[in-house]
């Protein structure tokens, strides 16, 4: 059995195209990373030159005054910018993207859990190579997210550090009821709290406890309808105030952060009143609710690229069910103004993309979509750094280039504060002091 498992691991390494050493989660090697400039994840400007000292998987020093240990390996990345490893606060790494909506639906019904797990490991790798060293993964099935998180943590497969939900929680027939849109009885039983589907405050608390029991780092709810679900309107509320109160109260009692899928205003407002930590999407959220979010410190995670990707499919004539086309167009027509209002009001904005609605690895395109709608480039960079770290409650570990934090560091060409699309050209990726990508051919000594 051990021999078989060993050969399986060797096979995974070959499939993923990485040397075995690249999967080691810890390293004692000391590096000095140099570049023309640096963004520390928190400041209002880049600094020059960029210099970060890494030792034992953590940042040991930053800037020109940092002490250079004897024997350190220097990596000079040239005309580039060093940044904290990007954070994506809204991914679905265990879901596959496909241009073919019908085939994607069939695949989900036909693929074994083992095959889905292998697919997910490939998604994790491409996300890490794009510069995303941490993700908040907000909805899965069959405990695939828990398994993937643990495999990455243990160095079995490469990928970003994951914080997972187990099941997103929603109502019968709602956006998080994955039996919705199929004939009654097809799956043998109605969805229940073990599947993340609840009715009433008591079931809501029970579902939170089940997610917690089986490995959830965070609790995600579906407070409104969704774009890609077949049995609901996109903007309708789907959980009562009492249900949301119970979910958030129970989650926070268990020291778990919360996130609410919420396109519609009424559902978002209920979630904010319940004390939710972030509103995801927010397409139709109105000024009154944005003011509440500002007052309470609730984050908006706008996931602009998800709508953009669906719009691309519609423009190219790719098949989507008519109901989904209509909901996509409605959300796209509203989301830009909502984002601009949130920006003007000073609502906290985190970086999240809804990866799997678009191709995994395109995450960084969210930066330019935020900037195109009026966000300053430096603020967009901060959204995937300190802002997301604070949203996850991890600001003491990640999100900035400060001594003592985990050595999650990426490099992009030239100056992303002048051209935000440089973030789409990551060529160096380090996570906890391990180099997973270095495409630069400059001097190393």
- C-alpha 426/C-alpha 385 separation (Å) is 15
Whether 262 has a pLDDT exceeding 80, the answer reads: yes
Chain-centroid distance of CA 208 in Å reads 21
Whether the domain at 19-84+400-438 and the domain at 86-363 fall into the same CATH topology: no
| Mean pLDDT, the chain, integer | 90
Whether 190 has a pLDDT exceeding 80, the answer reads: no
Q: Which of 104-108, 151-155, 230-234, 365-369 has the lowest mean pLDDT?
A: 104-108
- Average pLDDT score over residue span 10-21: 37
- Three-state secondary-structure class, residue 311: helix
Q: Are 425 and 62 in contact (CB under 8 A)?
A: no
What pLDDT digit, counting tens, does each position of 61-119 carry? 999 888 888 889 999 999 999 999 999 999 999 998 888 777 777 777 788 999 999 99
| Beta bridge partners of residue 52, listed in sequence order | 33, 62
Q: Report the pLDDT value the prediction gives residue 2, as an integer from 0 to 100.
A: 37
| Domain covering 19-84+400-438: architecture | Roll (2.30)
| 46 cis-preceded (ω within 30 degrees of 0) | no
**Domain residue limits, the chain:** 19-84+400-438, 86-363
- Average pLDDT score over residue span 50-58: 96
Q: Report the pLDDT value the prediction gives residue 276, as an integer from 0 to 100.
A: 98
What pLDDT digit, counting tens, does each position of 405-438 carry? 999 999 999 999 999 999 999 999 999 999 999 9
The structure tokens 């679900």 sit at 229
| Residue that wins the pLDDT comparison between 351 and 102 | 351
Whether 343 has a pLDDT exceeding 50, the answer reads: yes
User: 288 falls in which pLDDT band (50, 70, 90)?
Assistant: very high
- Average pLDDT score over residue span 45-74: 93
Q: Report the pLDDT value the prediction gives residue 102, as an integer from 0 to 100.
A: 75
- Average pLDDT score over residue span 206-218: 97
Q: What percent of the chain has pLDDT over 70?
A: 90
Q: Report the pLDDT value the prediction gives residue 185, as an integer from 0 to 100.
A: 66
What is the secondary structure of 182-230 as a DSSP string? S-TTTTSS---GGGTEE-SHHHHHHHHHHHHHTT-SEEEEE-B--SS-S
CATH code of 86-363, in short, is: 3.20.20.140
What pLDDT digit, counting tens, does each position of 129-186 carry? 999 999 999 999 899 999 999 999 999 999 999 999 999 999 987 787 776 556 566 6
Whether 19 has a pLDDT exceeding 70, the answer reads: no
Nearest to 299 by CA among 330, 320, 276, 269: 276
Contacts of 290 (CB under 8 A, 6+ apart): 300, 338, 341, 342, 345, 347
């Amino acid at each position: 059995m051990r021999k078989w498992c060993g050969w399986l691991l060797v096979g995974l390494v070959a499939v993923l195209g990485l040397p075995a050493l690249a999967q080691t989660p810890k390293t004692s090697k000391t590096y000095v990373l140099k570049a023309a400039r640096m963004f520390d994840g928190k400041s209002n400007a880049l600094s020059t030159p960029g210099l970060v000292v890494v030792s034992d998987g953590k940042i040991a020093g930053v800037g020109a005054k940092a002490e250079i240990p004897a024997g350190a390996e220097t990596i000079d990345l040239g005309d580039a910018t060093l940044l904290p490893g990007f954070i994506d606060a809204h991914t679905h790494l265990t879901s596959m993207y496909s241009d073919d909506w019908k085939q994607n639906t069939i695949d989900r019904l036909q693929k074994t859990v083992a095959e889905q797990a292998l697919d997910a490991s490939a998604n994790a790798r491409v996300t890490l190579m794009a510069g995303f060293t941490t993700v908040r993964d907000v909805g899965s099935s069959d405990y695939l997210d828990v398994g993937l998180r643990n495999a990455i943590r243990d160095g079995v497969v490469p990928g970003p550090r994951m914080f997972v939900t187990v099941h997103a929680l929603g109502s019968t027939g709602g956006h998080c009821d994955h039996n919705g849109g199929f004939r009654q009885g097809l799956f043998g039983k109605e969805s229940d709290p073990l599947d993340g589907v609840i009715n009433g405050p008591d079931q809501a608390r029970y579902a939170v406890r089940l997610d917690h029991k089986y490995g959830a780092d965070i609790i995600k709810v579906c407070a409104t309808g969704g774009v890609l679900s077949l049995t609901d309107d996109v903007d309708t509320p789907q959980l009562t105030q009492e249900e949301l109160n119970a979910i958030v109260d129970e989650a926070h009692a268990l020291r778990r952060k919360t996130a609410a899928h919420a396109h519609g205003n009424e559902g978002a407002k209920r979630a904010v009143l319940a004390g939710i930590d972030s509103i995801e999407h927010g397409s139709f959220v109105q000024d009154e609710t944005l003011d509440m979010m500002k007052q309470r410190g609730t984050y908006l995670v706008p996931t602009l690229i998800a709508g953009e990707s669906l719009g691309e499919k519609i423009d190219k004539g790719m098949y989507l069910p008519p109901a989904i086309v209509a909901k996509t167009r409605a959300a796209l027509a509203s989301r830009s103004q909502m984002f601009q209002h949130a920006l003007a009001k000073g609502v906290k904005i985190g970086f999240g993309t809804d990866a799997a609605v678009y191709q995994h690895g395109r995450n960084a395109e969210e930066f330019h979509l935020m900037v195109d709608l009026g966000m300053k480039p430096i603020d967009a960079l901060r959204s995937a750094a300190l802002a997301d770290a604070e949203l996850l409650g991890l600001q003491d570990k990640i999100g900035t280039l400060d001594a003592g934090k985990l050595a999650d560091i990426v490099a992009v060409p030239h100056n992303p504060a002048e051209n935000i699309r440089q973030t789409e050209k990551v060529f160096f990726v380090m996570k906890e002091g391990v180099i997973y990508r270095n495409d630069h051919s400059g001097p190393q000594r």
